[in-house]
Amino acid sequence: MEQRVHKRTTQQLQVVYQVVCQSCSHPTADDVYLWARRILLRISLGTVYHNLQRLVDEGKIGVLSFGDRIARYDPTTVDHAHLVCRHCGLVQDVVLDPRVLGAGLKFLTRSGYTIFSHSFVAYGLCPACEKGCSGTLQTV
């Protein structure tokens, strides 16, 4: 099974990757599209999706999903968890204590499963939102 398709490095691919990497948050495909258009005026949303998919397949970026059917892309590919603020929507990376995570995964493998990957997401209020606006929670 050899790599028979010769992949090309296009401007669009580079811009999409650059936008995801420079994003301080965890951008959606549309976020990436909006930013990419500031650099490549004629880039299309389809191309953005195509290149995001390719980058994910190549392991260069990660995809996330928080149950709202909207994919979010993540430049950080190392093992980490996410904190999602129910009020402002902020998504923050968190590096979990490896001992804790290791214990959790060991617990799971004991059940006979082989585990490739995992996802840990905590939903709550970020420090800023907890102070200011306690009470009006975002639905979902």
Partner DNA sequence: CTCGGTGCAAAGGGTTTGCATACAT
Partner DNA sequence: ATGTATGCAAACCCTTTGCACCGAG
Give the DSSP letter string of 39-87: HSTT--HHHHHHHHHHHHHTTSSEEEE-SSS-EEEES--SS-EEEEETT
Q: Verify binding: residue 119, DNA, rule CB under 7 A.
A: no
Check residue 117 for interaction with a second copy (CB under 8 A). yes
End-to-end CA distance of the chain: 45
**13 near DNA, rule: CB under 7 A:** yes
DSSP 92: E
Interacting residue with a second copy among 22, 30, 104, 133 (CB under 8 A)? 104
- CA distances to 24, 37, 122 from 93, rounded to whole Å, are 11, 26, 11
| Segment interacting with DNA, rule: CB under 7 A, options 42-50, 84-92, 100-108, 114-122 | 42-50
| Residues of the shown chain interacting with a second copy in the complex, contacts defined by CB under 8 A | 63-67, 69, 71, 81, 83, 85-86, 94, 96-97, 100-101, 103-105, 107-108, 111-127, 130
| Residues of the shown chain interacting with DNA in the complex, contacts defined by CB under 7 A | 5-13, 28-30, 40, 42-47, 49-51, 53-54, 69-71
